[in-house]
Structure 1
Amino acid sequence: MTEPVSPLSPAGDRHFDGLADKFAASLYGGARGELRLALLDRLLPEMLDLQGQPLLDVGGGLGQLAGWFAGRGHAVTLAEPSAEMLARAREPLQEQNVRFLQAPLQDLPEQAPGPWPLIACHAVLEWLADPRVALALLAGLLAPGGQLSLMVFNRDALRLSNVVKGNLEKALADRLEGKGLRKRLTPISPLTHGQVEAWSAENGLVIREVAGIRVFSDYLRRPPESQAERERLLALEHRYCRVDPHWRLGRYLLYTLERPTHPPQEASE
């Protein structure tokens, strides 16, 4: 029997109603999810100028990122299209300064127009049918001088992972996208660094910082078995996550994008 197809939005995007438990277990449960969150805990203060600005958390999912920012004094608006995911996020965040908004990214220019001094959009664009348009919408929500913390699933790392697993034909054919099947969580639109560079430039955004998230851990022959090994792996990941060429093969790519206060041509006059 074939797996049922996961419902897609009218725009063709992958949402996660009915999949909150699997999403939590697959993307945040276990050593890899723990490492991802630990790296963000270190990198976000290094890569962003944080001064307690109001934050729009786009596609905030289960609320881990919203909780991180709210705990550091930011008033957070968590926007998430999935009612189930939003309900799961409410419980741990009910005592925090977080406003909840059930809305897809495409509706935010009307429902949360800003302009925002700080936006986070982590692991969202890869689940959208048209991530290029999505980045343009995010750019339009940013205030002059505003920062966008963007994290995307890295297509080049996905290719390497398939080669390591022996999926040579799939890698040669460049058939890397997921198909939106209910039980699989391979993104439908994995992105390259070149795409992020080009689309950022199209929208007047400047890449201020970039890092790879999990540049080594996904290729280990065996996962770390002790707390000491996990700590050494975290130290190794943190040391090299912003060093070329290592960052380029992170399973995720983390960016700080900024909308300049003055357009480039105006600044040069």
Structure 2
Amino acid sequence: MSSSAPPLSSAGDRYFDGLADKFSRSLYNAPRGDLRLAMLDQLLPQMLRLEQQPVLDIGGGLGQLALWLAARGHPVTMTEPSGEMLAYAKEAFSTANTSTPIEFVQAPLQALEAKTPGPWPLITCHAVLEWLSDPQDAMRRLTALLAPGGQLSLMVFNRDALRFSNVVKGNLEKALSDRLAGTGHRQRLTPISPISHDEVTCWAAENRLQIESVAGIRVFQDYLRQPPQTEAERADLLALEHRYCRSEPHWRLGRYLLYTLIKPEKS
């Protein structure tokens, strides 16, 4: 396999054509992917009002979240700029045991105001903003797609956790100089725009979105000296993640930060 990756898009964003197999192996056919999905399975019903309303799933990747929502009765429109990732998602849907439809749209976030304008009562945008050159502008675009009173489930790759992880690994100079972002030009899956909680707070305020709740995903797993070796150890780790994912100060070092943001009703 080549060590190069497809170039960034014309907007400077990273897509995953040519990397879908690696993405699947590295993130979902691995313990960290299993834990991420297990945490979402618990947290999303706690953090969202799920009333089988239509959902716009932005940057849906391999389709796990879209399938999770469809299985719970939500009509889903899943968008994804990578044709290869979209093909994976369509294949997964074709073999899934759900009668709820999923509409697949190949488009980047910047095109959605024209292609899927809504307004949408529920938008999910998980692990997308960190792959964009301008995540602040993306937040504005998400707000425009959201209906008054609507919910945005936003998950971002946590810049502060990335720094802490580099320190734990001994990359002290890299952490000190704040050289944390990936370049997007190789096979490595370090995001090009890791995001801090302070940035999300600022961007939410700029767009008059209310942060209703926040949780950390993989608060402990990425810092373990040795991953769990047995089913009992894996169960203990999951229990710890569940217990502390919404507690101060632990959630702040989750590898991902999961938010529920609300667009106020029109006055």
* TM-score above 0.5: yes
Whether the 8 Å contact between 2:5 and 2:19 is mirrored in structure 1 is no
Q: Secondary structure at the match of 2:258?
A: strand
Cα distance in 2 for partners of 1:199, 1:121 equals: 15
Query: What is the letter of the counterpart of residue 34 of structure 2?
Result: E
What do residues 189-247 of structure 1 show as CA deviations (whole Å, max 9, x unaligned)?
A: 00000000000010010000000000001101111111111111111101100001000
**How far apart are 1:3 and its partner, in Å?**
4.3
Query: What is the letter of the counterpart of residue 116 of structure 1?
Result: W
What do residues 18-40 of structure 1 show as CA deviations (whole Å, max 9, x unaligned)?
A: 10000111111211110000000
Whether the 8 Å contact between 1:3 and 1:181 is mirrored in structure 2 is no
Query: What is the letter of the counterpart of residue 74 of structure 2?
Result: H
Cα distance in 2 for partners of 1:182, 1:67 equals: 29
User: Which residues of 2 match residues 1-269 of structure 1 at below 5 A?
Assistant: 3-94=3-94, 96-262=100-266, 266=267
**Superposition CA RMSD, Å:** 1.1
Query: What is the letter of the counterpart of residue 39 of structure 1?
Result: M
Q: Which runs of 5+ in 2 are unaligned?
A: none
Cα distance in 2 for partners of 1:84, 1:4 equals: 17
**How far apart are 1:181 and its partner, in Å?**
2.4
Query: What is the letter of the counterpart of residue 220 of structure 2?
Result: F
Q: Secondary structure at the match of 2:77?
A: strand
TM superposition score normalised by structure 2? 0.96
Cα distance in 2 for partners of 1:3, 1:79 equals: 27
**How far apart are 1:46 and its partner, in Å?**
0.2
TM superposition score normalised by structure 1? 0.95
Q: Secondary structure at the match of 2:241?
A: helix
Whether the 8 Å contact between 1:3 and 1:182 is mirrored in structure 2 is yes
Cα distance in 1 for partners of 2:82, 2:107 equals: 8
Q: Secondary structure at the match of 1:57?
A: strand
Cα distance in 1 for partners of 2:121, 2:114 equals: 17
Q: How many residues get paired?
A: 262
Q: Which runs of 5+ in 1 are unaligned?
A: none
Whether the 8 Å contact between 1:115 and 1:143 is mirrored in structure 2 is yes
